[in-house]
């Protein structure tokens, strides 16, 4: 080994970094952005899951419990009526509602606290804080009451009711649908951005621009070619997920395939569009941490959008993957069909993203050719 020769390589690498500002920005900027996102997603300044509390208790415990829940650091409650709470839950504006029954205080004296907890059920990350908050508040509120009345501290035995899903579902069932969307989106995006970048760097794009082809011909041609492969991939992924992994599915398989295909349509055009901003395959690969990882974190796959800080929820709502994941969950966990408003909205938004990106991809071809 020669120190001078090895040193020449090290020096050359540093010179290359100096000429590639983009890569430097990525190396020093991306960690701050990604770690910052983690901070906000895992609690720093997050929004709390919304929970409705319906107090029907004729004794004092219900009121004490509701007051204590209002101080909770896990959930954010509103007190309301049973009918209102049920409609909030089905409209997905709350993660759960808790009914404190009429005999709550009476039964507490005989040692058991048995509220009914109605959970939305499609996102485990929202279920857990509700039960934790309830447990903490019951301990605090009933301890005071028990001390005042000289009885034992009662045991919490909530009866859980799931609007969707339920205790029969495991982690795979919750994440399966979201992962179908993610896997397909990520792979198709990477393959398209590299393929299109090669078209630019090997000079064939210039040749195409010197032919009678129109820009729209090129974009539509790319969509056609990739969608054939993507369709096979979508069917493969869905069949594997449902029939080999036995991920729970409540809805129509054709809808899952449709949503998956729409996600690939978005991914193909995002790839063509972003390839405009990369000059080498190296730079294209850098779009994965920049364009994909934040989407994975913000699309609600792991961290529910509802618990993000308000401004971050706005960002999440601007990302196509958020709607794809939501749509897939609507179908697979809730069994929603084309009559469901929220699912139609998800589909419409994904289609709108696809159309906007097709237009953007076509427009970037114009700039590159002059």
Partner 1 sequence: MSAQPVAVSVDSLVKAFGSIRALDGVSLTVRNGEIYGLLGPNGAGKTTLIRSLVGLITADAGTVTVLGHRLPDRGVLAEVGYMPQSPALYADLTVEENVRFFAAVHDLERHAAAQSTADALELVDLSSRRRSVVATLSGGMRQRVSLACALVHRPRLLLLDEPTVGVDPQLRAELWQRFTRMSGEGTTIIVSSHVMDEAERCGRLGLVRFGRMLAEGTSAELRRLAGVERLEDAFLVLSESTR
- Closest to partner 1 by CB, 181 or 271: 271
Over 52-64, what HEC string results? Answer: EEEECCCCCHHHH
What minimum distance in Å lies between the beta carbon of 284 and partner 1? Answer: 17
- Closest to partner 1 by CB, 56 or 209: 209
Helices (H), 170-302: 171-201, 204-209, 215-239, 253-275, 281-285, 287, 293-298
Subset of 193-212 contacting partner 1 (CB under 8 A): 202-204, 206-212
- Closest to partner 1 by CB, 6 or 220: 220
Subset of 210-249 contacting partner 1 (CB under 8 A): 210-214
What minimum distance in Å lies between the beta carbon of 196 and partner 1? Answer: 13
What minimum distance in Å lies between the beta carbon of 207 and partner 1? Answer: 5
What minimum distance in Å lies between the beta carbon of 249 and partner 1? Answer: 38
Q: What pairs with residue 117 in β-bridges?
A: 98, 160
What minimum distance in Å lies between the beta carbon of 230 and partner 1? Answer: 19
Distances (CA, A) of 199 to 214, 276, 278, 356: 16, 11, 12, 22
Of 27, 229, 338, 369, the residue at the interface with partner 1 (CB under 8 A) is 369
Residue 16 lies near partner 1 (rule: CB under 8 A): no
**Can you list the pairs that 362-367 forms with residues at least 24 positions away whose Cβ atoms lie under 8 Å?**
362/215, 362/216, 362/219, 364/272, 364/273, 364/276, 365/209, 365/215, 365/218, 365/219, 366/215, 367/276
Subset of 118-157 contacting partner 1 (CB under 8 A): none
DSSP, collapsed to helix, strand or coil, labels residue 77 as strand
- Closest to partner 1 by CB, 170 or 206: 206
- Closest to partner 1 by CB, 48 or 190: 190
Length, in residues, of the chain:
370
Please answer whether residues 281 and 260 qualify as being in contact, where contact means their C-beta atoms are separated by less than 8 angstroms: no
* Count of positions on this chain that bind partner 1 (CB under 8 A): 14
By the criterion CB under 8 A, which residues form the site for partner 1? Answer: 202-204, 206-214, 369-370
């Amino acid at each position: 080994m020669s120190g001078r020769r090895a040193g020449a390589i090290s020096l050359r690498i540093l010179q290359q970094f100096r000429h590639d500002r983009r890569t430097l920005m990525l190396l020093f900027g991306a960690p701050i952005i990604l770690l910052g996102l983690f901070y906000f997603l895992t609690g720093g300044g997050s929004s709390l899951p919304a929970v409705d509390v319906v107090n029907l208790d004729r004794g004092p415990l219900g009121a004490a419990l509701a007051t204590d829940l209002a101080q909770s650091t896990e959930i954010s409650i509103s007190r309301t009526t049973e009918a209102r709470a049920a409609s909030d839950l089905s409209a997905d504006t709350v993660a759960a509602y808790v009914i404190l029954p009429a005999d709550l205080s009476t039964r507490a004296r005989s040692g058991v606290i048995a509220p009914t907890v109605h959970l939305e059920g499609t996102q485990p990350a929202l279920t857990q804080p509700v039960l934790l908050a309830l447990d903490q508040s019951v301990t605090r509120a009933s301890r005071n009451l028990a001390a005042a009345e000289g009885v034992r501290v009662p045991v919490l035995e909530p009866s859980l009711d799931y609007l969707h899903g339920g205790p029969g579902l495991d982690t795979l069932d919750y994440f399966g649908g979201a992962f179908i969307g993610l896997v397909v989106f990520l792979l198709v995006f990477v393959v398209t951005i590299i393929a299109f970048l090669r078209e630019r760097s090997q000079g064939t794009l210039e040749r195409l621009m010197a032919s009678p082809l129109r820009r729209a011909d090129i974009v539509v041609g790319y969509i056609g070619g990739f969608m054939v492969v993507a369709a096979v991939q979508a069917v493969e992924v869905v069949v594997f997920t449902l029939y080999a992994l036995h991920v729970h599915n409540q809805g129509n398989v054709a809808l899952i395939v449709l949503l998956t295909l729409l996600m690939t349509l978005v991914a193909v055009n995002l790839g063509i569009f972003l390839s405009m901003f990369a000059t080498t395959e190296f730079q294209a690969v850098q779009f994965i941490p920049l364009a994909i990882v934040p989407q994975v974190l913000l699309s609600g796959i792991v961290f529910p959008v509802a618990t993000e800080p308000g401004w971050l929820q706005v960002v999440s709502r601007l990302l196509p993957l958020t709607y794809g994941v939501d749509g897939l969950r609507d179908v697979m966990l809730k069994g929603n069909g084309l009559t469901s408003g929220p699912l139609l909205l998800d589909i419409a938004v994904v289609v709108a993203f696809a159309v906007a990106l097709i237009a953007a991809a076509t427009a970037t071809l114009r700039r590159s050719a002059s």
